[in-house]
């Protein structure tokens, strides 16, 4: 294993952007209230879901974006780069809360079909806004709907320590991540999420850092995925298929033996502390996808997939938009009546919105106002050759003035011709 992150790639990894973009669409579907489409998202067929995709890809992208800063510019600037990114995540979280809270207040007041404030359990915040604002800004108030970005913030702040350990050896860095996960499972390093109860953060960063730094390690070159192997493929596929009845409710609820097995596996399914079976299931799926796409990565660059890839490239902006849009979509569905055709329209509009946001943010990030305007080619005029025998050897060149034709030799005074010949 290497103890330094790999060099930044000259070209973005299309697999990273594609699957992160796919996770954004799944997250949007999953967060629309009472959405029947959510019955068919990956979370219904196995322990891992779009959250694992998002966190793994974020770790992978963080190694590419920040790892080389530690190597090329030193530890201090590398840590500063992490703090800057964490600062962006922090304010994205605050903005997401304020925008969503405003949306549910307006929905409750204007539509009146439901108590949308209570649906997100935000009454405590509005009943005591003085305490609520302070708790919100200090991340000691993290409502369930708003728990992914605080977890991401907490994991980001661990990167400098992991990078410091990687300077000794990459094994130290990965050993620390595994040990921290195990200690959290054994001791429970919970963080408070509400001031009126003892509920912890739904996504515990001390547990979820394991999947984040798994992606980080692959991108940094600390560990490498195994090459395609038919026996390993069969083992991964068998595990994935075994997990389907364990998590698919119509099966485990109606088959007693499967219900019993699934119940006994709950310790590995838990989401708050990131149960180990979630990790194994995600790695099995990732390996199968890696083998399936091996040598075929170009397929993800097809025109039909470009919107998904673009969404993945602007994941943070799209994620914040999708969480607000999902709540608004639920309100619109309440007004429309929630017919099957209504869901089709809402999802189509929502997907189009996420794609539009991705392309818009990408346009602004490209800073087109700094690009120099292309200048039209200037007309080049050949210069006149010098008079005399050497005229044929004179090369034409640009001139700022009009072209003056040379005088014929017969018009040149005889004395001047003789003087030229003597020279």
417 within a domain of the structure (yes/no): no
Angle separating helix axes 170-187 and 205-220, nearest 10 degrees: 160
Residue range of the domain that includes 281: 227-293
CA separation for the pair 207, 154 (Å, rounded): 11
pLDDT tens digits, 314-324? 999 999 999 99
Please identify, among 192, 209, 224, the residue that sits at the C-terminal boundary of a domain.
Answer: 224
CA separation for the pair 51, 27 (Å, rounded): 8
174 within a domain of the structure (yes/no): yes
Tell me the pTM: 0.84
pLDDT at 413: 53
8 within a domain of the structure (yes/no): no
pLDDT at 13: 85
Residue 145 CB neighbour total at 10 angstroms: 20
Shared-domain flag, residues 324 and 289: no
Question: How many domains does the chain contain in total?
Answer: 3
Q: Which two tokens stand for residue 85?
A: 């990114």
CA separation for the pair 223, 169 (Å, rounded): 12
Shared-domain flag, residues 341 and 234: no
Shared-domain flag, residues 164 and 236: no
381 within a domain of the structure (yes/no): no
Q: Closest Cα to residue 357, out of 331, 320, 329?
A: 320
pLDDT at 397: 47
pLDDT at 369: 87
Shared-domain flag, residues 246 and 345: no
CA separation for the pair 192, 386 (Å, rounded): 89
The string of DSSP codes covering 142-169 is: --GGG-HHHHHHHHHTTHHHHHHHHHH-
Please identify, among 245, 261, 293, the residue that sits at the C-terminal boundary of a domain.
Answer: 293
CA separation for the pair 114, 136 (Å, rounded): 25
40 within a domain of the structure (yes/no): yes
pLDDT at 381: 59
Shared-domain flag, residues 67 and 93: yes
Q: Closest Cα to residue 312, out of 86, 80, 23, 77?
A: 23
Shared-domain flag, residues 25 and 169: no
Shared-domain flag, residues 152 and 191: yes
The string of DSSP codes covering 173-226 is: HHHHHHHHHHHHHHH----B--SSS--B-SS-HHHHHHHHHHHHHHHHTSS-PP
Shared-domain flag, residues 153 and 190: yes
Shared-domain flag, residues 173 and 256: no
194 within a domain of the structure (yes/no): yes
pLDDT at 10: 43
Please identify, among 168, 202, 224, the residue that sits at the C-terminal boundary of a domain.
Answer: 224
Shared-domain flag, residues 99 and 184: yes
pLDDT at 12: 76
Shared-domain flag, residues 148 and 218: yes
Q: Closest Cα to residue 6, out of 67, 58, 55, 59?
A: 67
Q: Which residues of 252-290 are buried (b: 16+ CB within 10 A; e: fewer)?
A: beeeeeeeeebeeeeebbbbbbbbbbbbbbbbbbbbbeb
Asked whether 396 and 383 are in contact (CB, 8 A), the reply is yes
pLDDT tens digits, 122-153? 999 999 999 999 999 999 999 999 999 999 99
Asked whether 372 and 323 are in contact (CB, 8 A), the reply is no
Enumerate residue ranges in the chain where pLDDT < 50. 1-10, 388-401, 409-411, 420, 423
Q: Closest Cα to residue 146, out of 215, 98, 206?
A: 98
164 within a domain of the structure (yes/no): yes
CA separation for the pair 60, 20 (Å, rounded): 11
Shared-domain flag, residues 92 and 215: yes
């Amino acid at each position: 294993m290497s103890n330094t992150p790999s060099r930044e790639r000259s070209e973005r990894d299309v697999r990273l952007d594609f699957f992160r973009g796919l996770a954004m669409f799944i997250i949007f579907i999953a967060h629309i209230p009472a959405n029947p489409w959510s019955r068919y998202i990956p979370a219904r067929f196995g322990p891992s879901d779009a959250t694992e995709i998002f966190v793994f890809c974020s770790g992978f992208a963080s190694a590419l974006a920040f790892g080389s800063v530690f190597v090329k510019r030193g530890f201090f600037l590398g840590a500063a780069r992490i703090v800057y990114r964490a600062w962006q995540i922090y304010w994205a979280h605050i903005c997401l809360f304020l925008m969503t809270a405003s949306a549910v207040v307006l929905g409750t007041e204007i539509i009146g079909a439901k108590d949308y404030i209570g649906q997100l359990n935000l009454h405590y915040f509005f009943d005591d806004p003085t305490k609520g604002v302070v708790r919100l800004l200090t991340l000691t108030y993290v409502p369930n709907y708003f728990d992914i970005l605080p977890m991401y913030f907490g994991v980001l702040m661990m990167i400098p320590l992991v990078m410091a350990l990687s300077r000794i050896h990459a094994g130290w860095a990965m050993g620390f991540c595994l040990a921290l996960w195990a200690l959290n499972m054994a001791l429970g390093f919970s963080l408070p999420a509400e001031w009126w109860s003892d509920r912890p953060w739904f996504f515990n960063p001390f547990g979820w850092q394991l999947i984040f730094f798994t992606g980080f390690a692959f991108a940094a070159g600390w560990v490498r995925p195994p090459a395609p192997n038919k026996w390993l493929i069969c083992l991964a596929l068998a595990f994935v298929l075994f997990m389907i009845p364990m998590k698919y409710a119509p099966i485990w609820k109606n088959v007693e033996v499967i219900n019993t097995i699934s119940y006994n596996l709950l310790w590995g399914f838990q989401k708050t502390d990131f149960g180990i079976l979630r990790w194994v299931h995600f790695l099995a799926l990732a390996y199968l996808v890696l083998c399936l796409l091996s040598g075929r990565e170009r397929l993800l660059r097809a025109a039909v997939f470009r919107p998904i890839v673009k969404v993945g490239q602007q994941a943070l902006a799209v994620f914040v938009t999708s969480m607000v849009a999902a709540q608004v979509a639920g309100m619109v569905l309440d007004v429309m009546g929630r017919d099957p055709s209504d869901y089709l329209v809402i999802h189509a509009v929502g997907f189009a919105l996420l794609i539009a946001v991705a392309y818009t943010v990408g346009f602004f990030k490209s800073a087109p106002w700094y690009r120099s305007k292309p200048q039209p080619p200037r007309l080049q005029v050949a210069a006149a050759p010098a008079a005399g025998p050497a005229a044929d050897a004179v090369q034409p060149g640009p001139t700022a003035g009009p072209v003056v034709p040379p005088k014929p030799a017969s018009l040149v005074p005889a004395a001047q011709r003789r003087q030229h010949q003597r020279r």
